[in-house]
Structure 1
Amino acid sequence: MTSPGPLLPPVEVALARAVPSLPVAREGQRLAYEPKFDGHRLVIFRLEDAVRMQARSGRIVTRAFPDLEAAARPLPPGTVLDGEVVVWAGGRTDFASVQKRAFAATGSRAARLARELPASYAAFDLLAQGGEDLRPLPYAQRRARLMALLEPLGPPLQAVPMTTDPELAATWYEALTAIGVEGLVVKNLDEPYRAGRHWRKVRHAETRDAVVVGVVGPRLRPRSLALVLPGDDDPVVSSPLSPAVRAQLAAALRELPEAEPPAPPGELPTALDTVGTRITYRPIPPELTVEVRQESTVRHAATTVTRLRVGE
């Protein structure tokens, strides 16, 4: 296979669509099952003289992960990995800690957080090697190359576990909740890597965690929240908060410092709400985690906050 040149950021990433039950292979089909880590999607580019890291949105976030940048330097130039950043705490993945890492605004803060909350990288695909674009290859071939590449390196860069045995996959689906893994991603071993929702995912819970990065309305009594969901870095605006959730949030928001530096009203960031309208929000430090429920509407997913997670 030939390539017109090295694969460079940004690249559009492959995504998964939700399905209600664990898929099984049809006749002539070969499936792979992988744990679904709720972390921060990250594409790692080992260039000739540097390492670059791209979030799902295409934003370059290398500065936020100095530990992973150092870990990626031994990779051969021309390598491009796709995977998820996770932080382990108490034997479980901790999505809130991942977001603290991802939103580190300065080099000094990123370095401190790298010491306090060291990141691991769960690689699930190899998009390029030696400058060769591997995306057209079947996943089975990309997976074999990924394993051969990462096995000599070891943590914090590791390939996610994978099985082609549906019975073992079912066991994983039930057992891995103990370490914070809420589901599986299912891929066709014969398919190339394509942007869009060609993979499938199945989850245990209808709810998931999200990190609060901003408020819409008064700071201590917000109407809605700007949230970052697992695997994404583009904030979304929640549905209007219930009175009970507003009451829960009031005390927690009062204890948070203002974002530094506070943005003038005309320069506030925006995020999409449940009908696709861009809404301005006031940034806050990514210290609060909420439980959310997502429901599909005609055009967008409505994100409803069900409760504030406290001390969990």
Structure 2
Amino acid sequence: MEHTTLYFKQGSSDKVYQASIAPQDGGYVVQFAYGRRGATLQTGTKTQMPVPYDEAKRLYDKLVAEKTAKGYAPGEDGTPYHGTDKAGQATGIQCQLLNSVEVDQVERLISDPAYWMQEKHDGRRLLVRKTGDAITGINRLGLAIALPQSLVADVAKCSCDLLLDGEAIGETLHAFDVLFIGGEDVQELPYNERYLRLMNLLASFQHRHIQLVHTVFLHQQKAALFHQLKTSRAEGVVFKRTDAPYTAGRPASGGPQIKHKFCATASFIVGKTNAKRSVSLLLFNGDRIGPAGNVTIPANHEIPQAGQVVECRYLYAFRESGSIYQAVYLGTRDDIRGEECTTDQLKYRREESTEEAA
């Protein structure tokens, strides 16, 4: 019978996923197990009752394809996408990911001269690499992706190799960091120096589709920009510690770069399709997955399939049920793994948080 073991190792993550087909009561079941390597694995099944072999094989192949698409790979070294159909897209580059900070910590960061502040743009994470004449886009999963021709043409005007980090909105890259300039790896430099290098780099060539992210340094500047962005209903702000190097991956908590969102958004796994263009949403809470409410899919969007990751905006979440309130569907996210869809993302109703703190 079919059986596979897949691994994923990146940053602090070191996970294993097993899938198999087993005979049972004259039919076949698809079983799976997952968890941190070396720990007791959580188990489950994709078939509630035995099914014919052809159906089990279809479910098994779909399960393996979903996991390899998210970076799991055969081979115990756990190199993302190694030995899979996405191996040719894997760049080995991992971007720096941010944890969130609540509003009660914002004033401290605004007042702290060790932190600069920038607008958090509402787009898709994108790194752009130029090596000789080759220009490549890289998503937050480290996979090479196509770039708009207008952005490629702009980057081609730069006389040196580079690796930029930013947020893409339409055909424009809002650049906020640089990892390589020419033959120099600048990731270990403090952020304030990397930002100045980025400013000088972008000033050295003409570009219409690359925008330097506006950054403020002083207390009054940060307070004024924070108020302006919140009033204009921007997505949020990012605080960056000036002396910190570029560190790939997401810290377990805190970190030298922290985001604060004005509106609540989160990534969810689609559970099933409901009536009237609605889908159910799921989130991981530790190793268990549970319901997080429902969202209606607008007529100008295709209805996502079960297992896909989607982005939603919402007013708040109910702590008791974990469901989100006034959900608004924003679209699918093929650059976010299902394991990242956790309850840690949620912002709960304010009075509930106040009562618990009392």
Q: Normalising to structure 2: TM-score of the pair?
A: 0.53
Match of 1:147, SS state, is helix
Superposed displacement of residue 177, structure 1: 3.8
Q: Distance in 1 between matches of 2:325 and 2:143?
A: 26
**Residue of structure 2 equivalent to 1:123:** 175
Q: What per-residue deviation string (whole Å, max 9, x for no partner) do you get for residues 223-263 of structure 1? A: 42599xxxxxxxxx994434xx5xx54xx45x75689xxxx
Indicate which of 94, 109, 129 corresponds to 1:45: 129
Superposed displacement of residue 176, structure 1: 2.1
Q: Distance in 2 between matches of 1:161 and 1:175?
A: 13
Q: Aligned runs of 1:121-160 on 2, under 5 Å?
A: 121-151=173-203, 152-160=205-213
Indicate which of 284, 292, 306 corresponds to 2:326: 306
User: Unmatched 5+ residue regions in structure 2?
Assistant: 1-89, 284-288, 331-358
1:61/1:220 Cα in 2 relative to 1: closer, same or farther (>3 Å)?
Answer: farther
User: Unmatched 5+ residue regions in structure 1?
Assistant: 1-7, 88-118, 228-236, 260-267, 269-278
1:57/1:292 Cα in 2 relative to 1: closer, same or farther (>3 Å)?
Answer: farther
1:219/1:74 Cα in 2 relative to 1: closer, same or farther (>3 Å)?
Answer: farther
User: Matched residue pairs, number?
Assistant: 225
1:78/1:167 Cα in 2 relative to 1: closer, same or farther (>3 Å)?
Answer: same
Superposed displacement of residue 143, structure 1: 0.8
1:19/1:192 Cα in 2 relative to 1: closer, same or farther (>3 Å)?
Answer: same
Q: Distance in 1 between matches of 2:115 and 2:318?
A: 27
Q: What per-residue deviation string (whole Å, max 9, x for no partner) do you get for residues 22-71 of structure 1? A: 243788x62211111121000000011210010111122225x2322222
Superposed displacement of residue 77, structure 1: 3.8
1:173/1:25 Cα in 2 relative to 1: closer, same or farther (>3 Å)?
Answer: closer
Kindly indicate whether residue 288 of structure 2 is the aligned counterpart of residue 203 of structure 1. no
Question: Highest Rg: 1 or 2?
Answer: 2
Q: Aligned runs of 1:151-170 on 2, under 5 Å?
A: 151=203, 152-170=205-223
Superposed displacement of residue 309, structure 1: 6.4
**Residue of structure 2 equivalent to 1:69:** 152
Match of 2:142, SS state, is coil
Are the counterparts in 2 of residues 290 and 305 from structure 1 also a CA contact under 8 Å?
A: no
Q: Distance in 2 between matches of 1:135 and 1:220?
A: 49
Q: What per-residue deviation string (whole Å, max 9, x for no partner) do you get for residues 65-103 of structure 1? A: 23222221112342000000124xxxxxxxxxxxxxxxx
Kindly indicate whether residue 141 of structure 2 is the aligned counterpart of residue 57 of structure 1. yes
Are the counterparts in 1 of residues 293 and 323 from structure 2 also a CA contact under 8 Å?
A: no
> What is the one-letter code of the residue matched to 1:13?
C
> What is the one-letter code of the residue matched to 1:44?
V
Indicate which of 308, 311, 314 corresponds to 1:292: 314
Q: Aligned runs of 1:67-106 on 2, under 5 Å?
A: 67-87=150-170
Q: Distance in 1 between matches of 2:197 and 2:328?
A: 42
**Residue of structure 2 equivalent to 1:12:** 94
- Name the Cα RMSD after superposition: 3.7
- Asked which structure has the greater RCO (Cα within 8 Å, sep 6+), the reply is 1
Are the counterparts in 2 of residues 44 and 52 from structure 1 also a CA contact under 8 Å?
A: yes
> What is the one-letter code of the residue matched to 1:48?
G
Fraction of identical pairs, as percent:
23
Q: What per-residue deviation string (whole Å, max 9, x for no partner) do you get for residues 85-137 of structure 1? A: 124xxxxxxxxxxxxxxxxxxxxxxxxxxxxxxx2111000100002110011
